[in-house]
């Protein structure tokens, strides 16, 4: 069962890199660990025969968002001191524990239906059809949200420029 072996390897990678994100003293290393974590999650998607989701995870999270994060780090003054300024250990422990309880509780209580029919060929085409037919409203809502955030970013960037003059 190659899949299980890869699953455990990837899970180990995801968990250890996630731990490194939280605990690493060096903020740049933490950022890199975050990318490793994203790539590990993408690997799990690919392992589960969802290559499109995996590729999107790499493209959007690892390739764009996390790189923008690192980009921000590079522009930050006194990066290494930033981590020690706040002490939020209590909240930092409490929230993940509550999250974990919620998730474990949900997973344990869920009714897992074993599929009896033929495996569905769930490719990109069917995903696209779904977006354009059944879930069009949700799709458009997401587009609108993205547009709004884009406009917001432009407005914020413009304001700073104006105040400098």
- If the CB atoms of residues 19 and 71 are measured against another protein, the closer one turns out to be 71
- If the CB atoms of residues 75 and 137 are measured against another protein, the closer one turns out to be 75
Q: Which residues bind another protein (CB under 8 A)?
A: 1-2, 4-5, 26, 28-29, 32, 35, 39, 51-52, 55-56, 58-59, 62-64, 66-68, 70-71, 73-75, 123-125
Could you give the CA distance from residue 54 to residue 42 in angstroms, rounded to a whole number?
4
Quick check: helix, strand or coil at residue 73?
helix
- If the CB atoms of residues 19 and 52 are measured against another protein, the closer one turns out to be 52
Could you give the CA distance from residue 105 to residue 149 in angstroms, rounded to a whole number?
34
The least distance separating another protein from the CB of residue 95, rounded to whole angstroms, comes to 28
Quick check: helix, strand or coil at residue 78?
coil
- Computed over its alpha carbons, how large is the radius of gyration of the chain? 20
* Cβ atoms of residues 52 and 124 within 8 Å: yes
The least distance separating another protein from the CB of residue 154, rounded to whole angstroms, comes to 12
């Amino acid at each position: 069962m190659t899949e299980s072996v890869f699953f455990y390897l990837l899970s180990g990678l995801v968990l250890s890199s996630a731990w490194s994100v939280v605990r690493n003293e060096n903020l740049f290393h933490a950022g890199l660990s975050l990318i490793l974590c994203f790539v590990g999650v993408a690997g799990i998607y690919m392992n589960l025969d969802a290559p499109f989701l995996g590729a999107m995870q790499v493209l959007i999270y690892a390739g764009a968002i996390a790189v923008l994060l690192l980009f921000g780090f590079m522009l930050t003054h006194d990066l290494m001191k930033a981590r020690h300024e706040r002490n939020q250990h209590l909240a930092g422990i409490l929230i993940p524990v509550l999250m974990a309880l919620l998730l474990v509780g949900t997973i344990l209580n869920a009714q897992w239906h074993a599929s009896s029919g033929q495996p569905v060929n769930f490719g990109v085409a069917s995903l696209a059809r779904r977006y354009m037919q059944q879930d069009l409203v949700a799709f458009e809502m997401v587009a609108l949200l993205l547009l709004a955030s884009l406009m917001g970013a432009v407005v914020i960037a413009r304001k700073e420029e104006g105040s400098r003059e």
